[in-house]
Amino acid sequence: MSRSFRLSVLDQSPIAEGSTTADALANTIDLARLCDDLGYDRYWLAEHHASPGVGGAAPEALIGPVALATRRIRVGSGGIMLPHYSPFKVAETFGLLAALAPGRIDLGVGRAPGTDGRTAFALQRDRSRRMPSDDFPHALAELIAYFGEEGLPADHPFAPLHATMPSGRGGSPELWLLGSSMDSALWAAEAGLPYCFADFINSDGAEMTAAYRRRFRPSPQLAEPYVMAAVWTIAAPDRAEAERLAAPAAMMFAHLMSGNQIPVPPVEKALAWLADNPGAALRRRRTVLGTPAECRRELESVAALYGADEMMLVNIMSDHAARRRSYALIADEFALAPAAAAA
């Protein structure tokens, strides 16, 4: 079957109840290898802090091992939460990764903290004050300049650092802006960057991606706007099974909304909790789920809504085998592997 958009994967490295972070990271490597073989375009690692349910606190530490464990798939961050870091340090790190796996590294950056306010403050090196919320555009501009041919303005105090970037010897990463708000859409458009909209956080983003396309300014990296939508997606042999597999994430999300983070519960425990807390179901995000054919139809519908050039699939399950199967079923439905082999 033909398709009008690419398919990629966002992995949050879920930690199942009773397992460890080491188990979650081993599953990440395993799933990345599978998705590489299945023909997905990218494999991104998320950044979340102080969470008992997801293990991806440092995507920059995971990208190298995942890139070395795979053959062709692009590997990147989904994303690096730039307010926590020095733009120069991020540029050095991803320049080094690009030298390690030339032509296969993506640097997705975002503004969200990826955690609660206390942890975000703990992540700051300078704790004498909280970082200003309007600093992001300046940090983004500095980061872009480190990877550009011209670098920073000659009178900028960091201008000489441009020549030290490891990317000069291994190719630059592909820079993306991530977000779920109008601010991020407009920043991506102004900078001429590809834009990934987090539909799994905010499912009302069609207006934002439309604004991104209207306001897009061509850049040395990108001549035309490029939209990717990250969507919560679970496939199973039948819809009832897919709905069962969605229960652990629904329970986690309800707890997160009440300020209580938990490991990924088993399916039966989650189903029992949701039955006892029927109001939690009212706060669920958009979820594409069902048989492979049902998922395909809904993914095509969401892609049309966003005008998406690429769809990034994300999910959290307690059963790693079921998670592997979900990505395999969708890859087969879209005939990804033959297309990747031909390319």
- Give, for all 343 residues of the chain, the pLDDT tens digit: 456 899 999 999 999 999 999 999 999 999 999 999 999 999 999 998 888 999 988 999 999 999 999 999 999 999 899 988 899 999 999 999 999 999 999 999 998 765 556 655 666 666 556 655 568 999 999 999 999 888 888 788 887 888 887 754 557 899 999 999 999 999 999 999 999 999 999 999 999 999 999 999 999 999 999 999 999 999 999 999 999 999 999 999 999 888 899 999 999 999 999 999 988 765 567 999 999 999 999 999 999 999 999 999 999 999 999 999 999 999 999 999 876 776 6
Residue 185: per-residue pLDDT: 97
Residue 278: per-residue pLDDT: 86
What's the token pair of residue 132? 């200003």
Query: Among residues 87, 24, 30, 88, which one has the least CA distance to residue 56?
Result: 24
Query: Among residues 92, 82, 142, which one has the least CA distance to residue 113?
Result: 82
Residue 180: per-residue pLDDT: 95
Residue 257: per-residue pLDDT: 85
Per-residue DSSP letter, 79? E
**Run of H or E residues at 232:** strand 227-235
**In contact, 267 and 319? CB cutoff 8 Å:** yes
User: How many angstroms separate the CA atoms of 62 and 336, rounded?
Assistant: 25
Residue 118: per-residue pLDDT: 62
Domains of the chain: 6-342 (3.20.20.30)
Residue 1: per-residue pLDDT: 44
Please report, in angstroms and rounded to a whole number, the separation of the first and last CA atoms in the chain. 16
> Structure pTM?
0.92
Diameter of the chain measured on Cα atoms: 63
